[in-house]
Structure 1
Amino acid sequence: MDTPLRTLVKSLTWQALGLMLMTLIGAGVTGSVAEGGGIALAGAGTGLVAYALHERLWARIRWGRRG
């Protein structure tokens, strides 16, 4: 099982990647990097919390594990 710190670092790196991609997508849709970045930040904030909670929940479920 991952430590809480490892879960946090995984969450942060995942969100950094998502933030960059969503900024590009948002900028492409809106024509504005600032607006695209705002959309990306809102998504990153909620996604960070959801991902961390999801990881911690699945860490408690034994189904599908070996050993």
Structure 2
Amino acid sequence: MGRDSHLRSLIKALSWRIIATLTTTLIAYIITRRVDTALFIGGWEAIIKIGVYTLHERIWERIKFGRKTEPEYYI
């Protein structure tokens, strides 16, 4: 099994960010009952955490801990 490409890591980060940001925005709305405040919080949360998540993924891609290597078969 190979390593994830940078594009794959980015797409994974984006898909997760959409789900997480919608959740954060909903929670912010439930707490504040203000759409503008909920969107403001959700927007900043998305911008900051997309970078943090991508960095986290790239760091873990380099860590060997817990990975299983598949044996190479020669014909």
Alpha-carbon distance in 2 for matches of 1:36, 1:48: 18
User: Which residue matches 2:36?
Assistant: 34
Aligned-pair CA distance for 1:37: 1.0
- Share of identical aligned residues, percent? 36
Structure 1 segments of 4+ aligned residues over 3 angstroms from their partners = none
How far apart in 2 are the matches of 1:24 and 1:63? 36
The number of equivalent residue pairs is 67
Structure 2 distance, partners of 1:35, 1:7, is: 30
Residue in 2 that maps onto 1:23 = 25
Instruction: Give the AA of the match of 1:8.
Output: L
CA shift digits 1:12-60 (9 cap, x unpaired): 0000001111111111111111210110111111110000000000000
Q: Which runs of 5+ in 1 are unaligned?
A: none
Which structure is higher in helix share? 1
In the aligned structure 2, how far is the partner of 1:10 from the partner of 1:42?
Answer: 19
Give the greater-gyration-radius structure (CA): 2
TM-score normalised by L of structure 1:
0.94
